[in-house]
Structure 1
Amino acid sequence: MHTTIPQALADAVRRDPTTPLLTWYDDATGDRTELSGATLDNWVSKTANLLVDGLGLGQGDTVAVLLPPHWQTAAVALGVSAAGLTADLGDRPQPVEVVFTCPDRVAEAAAWPAVDRYATGLLPLALPLREVPPGFVDYVTEVRNHGDHYRGAPVAPDDQALAGPIPLSHLGVMRNATERAAELGITAGDRVLIDTRTHPDPMDWLYAPLAAGASVVLCANLHPSKVTSRAEAEKVTVLLT
């Protein structure tokens, strides 16, 4: 079992950096984005560099991630972990150093006491926002200015990974994710199609597949008529719909 979140991602990339690790579909917009292990790792590294080099954050700092299931959410959450910071996935406003959000949650994000605020439109092709909300910085524009490789200090298993009523260390997240993967029937090498409406919890769509060594086909607004053909086209082995 992996003992930290960055270790699980590194192993996924090491197995095969070129094959799809996370494929995103939104049937409402027609968006499809495919990220290999290497590509997702680049986004994660850029995010970690933004947080550490750009904002000067360090161990003990907390980042609120107020975003729905999406490949950019994976990049942000994993980037927070890579940087050795704590991710708060957002049940109620708490003092944090940084908030990441999207336009339809700007009012909610504004209630979080934070020094820095980033917004992303979660748009196809990672396009920037047409209009950036006042007081926020466009994440996809800013993150591209940072390096593709993160060379910060390694994360320890006992470092806090997730905030909340019951905070979890990296080791705690990996233990929970491994147990959840077993409950969902996810094993190493699986390709898992996940409906974001039925499995919105990052433990299901992000951490459990990562801990198990599986790849993900993450689907928003999934149309029932497309499940069979998509599963065949993406060589899916596990359906979570």
Structure 2
Amino acid sequence: MQIAPRSGGPVPDVASLLARLAADGGRPRLTWYGDDGERVELSGAVLANWASKTVNLLVEEFDAAPGTRVVVDLPVHWRTAVWALAAWRTGATVALPEADLGQPDVVVTSSPDRWADAGADLVVVSLPALARRYDGDLPPGAIDAASAVMTYGDAIGWVPEVDPDRDALVTAAGAVGHKDLVPEPGDGARVLVDGRGAVADVLRDLLGVWAGGGSVVLTSATTAAALDADSGRLERLRGSERIG
């Protein structure tokens, strides 16, 4: 008898990927190692739940839809993955700060001072895992993501239909459309992803691993550098996290 792989075959889009993650129960899909020893583990279901709440915020607060331009000004981080997944689920275009996108509609950032005069709707993200509110002064009209996301429903409500021909991810190097966003699935392994990579590259690496039914151990840039400098610590991490 042939047993179907956990990935279920190719994944055509982020909507399909989130549906698979939501059905994945308690198996770890994203384990984050941040600075100062921070460790956060998200199962497929929990990751999809975070994305669903964020989708609802984007749609209800900003009418996010195909054509909406969302700048994600965040470092490599598990929260960055959630915001990107949510924006893509609405059909919006995610742009990194260096992209030549023109006037953004929404900016998602951990550094609000850089965008206070941008003329866009502003969402301020607190990166520490236990943050319940932004620890600083919010620009007028800005949304505090730490408190706002949790007020939205666990299941995605109405959401626009994604246009596969629109841009999904825009960087200084070019653009990738929604129909080409999810790479070829990986082999279902548990993978260590170096947080020193470019944000766009890391996000697509995550999509490919998840599409193949695998799971990710993602490090911050600082943690990745520390692991590089300490081979014993790296081997202990690989062993404890069962990284292939």
| TM-score category, normalised to shorter length | 0.7 to 0.9
User: Structure 1 residues 129, 205: closer, same or farther in 2, change over 3 A?
Assistant: farther
Number of the residue aligned with 1:188: 187
Number of the residue aligned with 1:79: 86
Number of the residue aligned with 1:197: 196
**Which residue type is aligned with residue 209 of structure 1?**
V
Number of the residue aligned with 2:147: 141
Aligned residue among 3, 17, 28 for 1:8: 17
User: Structure 1 residues 98, 210: closer, same or farther in 2, change over 3 A?
Assistant: same
Aligned residue among 108, 111, 114 for 1:108: 114
User: Structure 1 residues 111, 101: closer, same or farther in 2, change over 3 A?
Assistant: same
Mapped pair 1:67 → 2:74: yes
**Which residue type is aligned with residue 126 of structure 2?**
G
Aligned residue among 230, 237, 241 for 2:237: 230
**Which residue type is aligned with residue 52 of structure 1?**
V
Number of the residue aligned with 1:97: 105
Mapped pair 1:132 → 2:163: no
Q: How big is the shift at 1:197? A: 1.4
**Which residue type is aligned with residue 129 of structure 1?**
Y
Is the Cα contact below 8 Å between 1:64 and 1:100 reproduced in 2?
yes
Q: How big is the shift at 1:214? A: 1.8
With the length of structure 2 as denominator, give the TM-score of the two structures: 0.82
**Separation in 2 of the partners of 1:46 and 1:68?**
21
SS for the counterpart of 1:47 is: helix
What do the CA deviations read for 1:173-209 (whole angstroms, capped 9, x no partner)?
Answer: 12xx22xx7xxxxx33211111201464334542332
User: Structure 1 residues 231, 77: closer, same or farther in 2, change over 3 A?
Assistant: same
Q: Which has the larger radius of gyration?
A: 2
Q: Percent identity?
A: 33
Number of the residue aligned with 2:7: none
Superposed, 1:39-58 pairs within 5 Å as: 39-58=46-65
Gaps of 5+ in 2: 1-9
With the length of structure 1 as denominator, give the TM-score of the two structures: 0.83
Is the Cα contact below 8 Å between 1:88 and 1:163 reproduced in 2?
yes
Is the Cα contact below 8 Å between 2:65 and 2:160 reproduced in 1?
no
Q: How big is the shift at 1:212? A: 3.0
User: Structure 1 residues 107, 54: closer, same or farther in 2, change over 3 A?
Assistant: closer
Number of the residue aligned with 1:21: 29
- Equivalenced residues, count: 223
Number of the residue aligned with 1:218: 218
Number of the residue aligned with 2:5: none
* Aligned Cα root-mean-square deviation (Å): 2.2
Is the Cα contact below 8 Å between 1:205 and 1:218 reproduced in 2?
no
**Separation in 1 of the partners of 2:162 and 2:131?**
28
**Separation in 1 of the partners of 2:188 and 2:207?**
15
What do the CA deviations read for 1:189-240 (whole angstroms, capped 9, x no partner)?
Answer: 2111112014643345423323333211111122223211111111111xxx
Is the Cα contact below 8 Å between 1:64 and 1:87 reproduced in 2?
yes
